[in-house]
Amino acid sequence: MPQALARAVVSASGFRDRRDAAESGNPMSTTTTTIESAVERIVAVAGPHIIAGLPLGLGKPNHLINALTQRVAADPSLKLTLYTALSLDVPQPGPGLESAFAGPFIARQFGDDYPVLDYVRQLKKGTLCPRIQVHEFYFQSGAWLGCAEAQRHYISLNYTHVARQLADIGMNVMLQLVARRGDQLSLSCNPDLTFDALDALAALGKPRPLMVCAVHPDLPFLQHDIEVGLDFADLLVATPAHKLFALPREPVIALEHAIGLHASSLVRDGGTLQIGIGALSDALVHALIQRHSHNRDYVGLLAALRGGPADALIAQVGGESVFERGLYGASEMVMDGFMHLRRAGILRRRVFDDLGLQRLLNAGLIAETADTCTLERLIEAGQLPGTLDRPAVEWLMRFGLLPEGSLVADGVLHLADGSRIGSDLLDQDNRHALSQRIQGRRLRGGRYLHGAFYLGSRELYRWLAALGDEDFEGLCMTRVSFINELYGGREALDIAQRFDARFFNTCMMQTLSGAAVSDGLADGRVVSGVGGQYNFVAMAHAIPNGRSALMLRSVREARDGASSNIVWNYGHITIPRHLRDLVITEYGIADLRGQSDQEVVKRLLAISDARFQPALIEQARAAGKLERGFQPPERWQRNTPRALQDALRPFQQQGGYARYPFGSDFEPDELALLPALTRLKADTSSRSGRILALLGALTAGDPPPEQRARLTRVGLDQPRDFKSKLLARMLARRL
């Protein structure tokens, strides 16, 4: 069929007609096709203007995307618009020492055959075909600050509004990495936007896009909301196997551990947890595990950091005790931290898709394992009628309180083992008999974690792939609209499940009015994106017992010195001041909710670095937000890096707060070299620094044998020329 006619059929018909258009009218089979055939199919069905939606992060089928961009670049009649987020790229080390160190690590971490996205590298080089346009709503943090084209085409959207945008612009192709098991597919790492976008298109009466699914053999097969049949895919594509993109685990420095410790005391046992990714999130997870597993040390460290016992805020909002009931996770991103919390026995509170049942669990009137009071509580709450009927029996079977095959007929409950109980529960004998049958049975169908996408270390992927039994059943990847919003007709249930919710996110700066800067700079350039941060902050205000906490380092170190991340004002904000809530730095917690502007200023000053307090106080006075005679309390002057180190030192010496609390992807010799390389890079970042480093190397002797052995990893153990000899000396001085 000619391409023009095929396109006419696409625009005038529905999904099945369009799917058949380029195949001579034959229904599409589930036979796996090649990348080349898939690209030609995409061009025939969606061309000449291909509008493609790509999952964020891990879910991109890179080989297929590269083949499509190459095909469009080679054909002047075609145009391609890509809508996506978080286009991951393998690090590109600089020449010389940096490459010598990073090269082997990158090869080990990502594999020699990892398919780097062509459009990412071409955007960075400025060589992307002008007929290919890339719109992202969330950048890999800081990766695109220097790329004007990426900045121009960035679209600022809340995560939950992306599906609407994809429908509005008429997306005609979706490309997605999937897992396969027999005749079933799993959207696995990225169900976040796929279902929402398909629903949004259908609501507008627009055709379903061509769904192209690439099967990756190593992608974990997860079930529940994200399992679909083979017919979900219009095209099923076989792509070359390659290592999944794994994020290297980050170090956590002392002040980040302090932030995590403060944050962990805001979490209430039996509550809900949302966290992001990065060093601050790792610090929070580590502190939660310490709280649960080494509680005495944990409480002592918190007292040392605060300079005293817990205050009223901790008693009101969080706690310091072990997790008897456990936590439930509801987070757009599933990262390593949730794996560690599950292994530690903390992530174990399960939620259920029934409002009445969930409220009884929240109130502690029933437990997940039925006891002698469970039946009475269910009847009192109206969950069960006075006389058992078919819906009641089905409800009891659905949640595992009766065995499958139970039924009620002629006033009698018939159990699967042949026993019988009268259906009239007003009769004490019947009620007692049913209570005895229910007692000891555990509620079924609960979830300890809901997530919208996952991204993390190789250890996380192995854990997900090996999940079994309750660990497997209790984890549910799902659409982002379920995670990030309280709409869709189930608001009351969502609120009940997110009981005592604590939403932890990071920001770059905090203004003294309580506004947060998380995604961009004052000059308009985008660092990352809003993502779901606004959603979670707003949700914390919408849930009666929910709280939002923004974590940040109080100080930013740069070439020209240190500056405060708590500022009077800034030219860009992400979270407006009217949504201010909890703010955490290494120096403590500021509760801003419902406070006056003056009190907000004071509370943020109380957790700022002492070096910058005088200038901030003067700015607040000049604006009339502090009374002229205000004098800061003497305790604020203790907010110094030295005082913080002194508080943490005894616990660091005990080995409880390691730089890599969850292990490192670096090998031992690399870990030994890494701090020295970091210091050398910092020392030589300025002209004067380079001169001093060279002078030091010229006057220093050759490295001793023990240091020379460490230099082997970067090929400087036996330098062959003058430049290499200087580099070896400079690096050895910093080991």
Cis, bond preceding 207 (omega within 30 deg of 0) = no
Domain pair 3-238 / 254-350+448-641, same fold: yes
Nearest alpha-carbon partner for 454 in 247, 686, 676: 247
pLDDT digits over 352-389, tens only?
Answer: 999 999 999 999 999 999 999 999 999 999 999 999 99
pLDDT score of 639? 95
Pairing of strands 547-551, 501-506: parallel
Nearest alpha-carbon partner for 379 in 398, 392, 369: 392
CATH superfamily of 254-350+448-641: Acetyl-CoA hydrolase/transferase C-terminal domain (3.40.1080.20)
Give the Cβ contact number of residue 620 at 10 Å.
23
pLDDT score of 47? 86
Give residue limits of the domains in the chain: 3-238, 254-350+448-641, 358-438, 668-733
The low-confidence residues of the chain, meaning pLDDT below 70, are: 1-30, 655-656
Contact at 8 Å (CB) between 516 and 574?
yes
Which H helix or E strand runs over 211?
strand 210-215
- Give exposure, 622-636, as e/b (b: 16+ Cβ within 10 Å): eeebbeeeeebeeeb
For residue 442, the cross-strand partners are: 369
Q: Report the percentage of the chain scoring pLDDT > 90.
A: 76
Structure-derived torsion over alpha carbons of residues 667, 668, 670, 672, reported in degrees to the nearest 10: 160
Give the Cβ contact number of residue 440 at 10 Å.
11
pLDDT score of 30? 56
Q: How far lies 270's CA from each of 267, 409, 448, 497, 591, in Å?
A: 9, 40, 11, 11, 22
Phi, psi values for residue 543, rounded to 5°: -90, 125
Residue with tokens 């580099």: 727
Nearest alpha-carbon partner for 456 in 278, 288, 221: 278
pLDDT digits over 67-124, tens only?
Answer: 999 999 999 999 999 999 999 999 888 877 788 888 888 888 898 889 999 999 999 9
CA distance 572 to 570: 6
Predicted TM-score of the model (pTM): 0.92
Tokens standing for 333?
């991103």
Contact at 8 Å (CB) between 366 and 346?
no
pLDDT score of 187? 97
CA distance 205 to 200: 9
Phi, psi values for residue 284, rounded to 5°: -65, -45
pLDDT score of 470? 93
Look at the domain 3-238 and name its fold. Glutaconate Coenzyme A-transferase (3.40.1080)
Contact at 8 Å (CB) between 423 and 386?
no
Q: Report the percentage of the chain scoring pLDDT > 70.
A: 96
Structure-derived torsion over alpha carbons of residues 337, 339, 345, 349, reported in degrees to the nearest 10: 90
pLDDT score of 6? 32
CA distance 593 to 579: 8
pLDDT score of 25? 36
DSSP letter, residue 660 = S
Q: What is the CA radius of gyration of the chain?
A: 29
Nearest alpha-carbon partner for 461 in 89, 53, 59: 59
| Strands of 516-517's sheet in order across | 516-517, 509-511, 566-567
pLDDT score of 99? 83
